[in-house]
Amino acid sequence: MRSSSAAGIKWLTVSGKNPSRNLPRVPTAIPVCDSETGLLDGVSDGTQLIAERTAAMAVAQRLRSGQPAPLQIRAGVRT
């Protein structure tokens, strides 16, 4: 992420054992810093955001390939 006042990155890990712990398989954090000073402004939990983006990209690719859009789209964090 980058804007005139903030910059951020997506930081994720993959843990195959997390679902058995009732935790997300791919926990994600997004640290956001002031773009001029580099100081940390905050950290956002990006786990749901990443799940929704992944679903949206799958639909976009399907439409781009000429296939019909799916009737149902599920986006969420599976545990």
Q: How far are the Cα atoms of 3, 23, 75 from residue 58, in angstroms, in the given order?
A: 26, 23, 11
pLDDT tier at 52, thresholds 50, 70, 90: confident
Mean pLDDT of 55-62: 85
Mean pLDDT of 43-56: 87
Where does the chain show beta strands of DSSP type E? 6-8, 11-12, 28-34, 40-45
Q: Which fold has domain 6-64?
A: ornithine cyclodeaminase, domain 1 (3.30.1780)
Domain ranges for the chain: 6-64
pLDDT at 76: 64
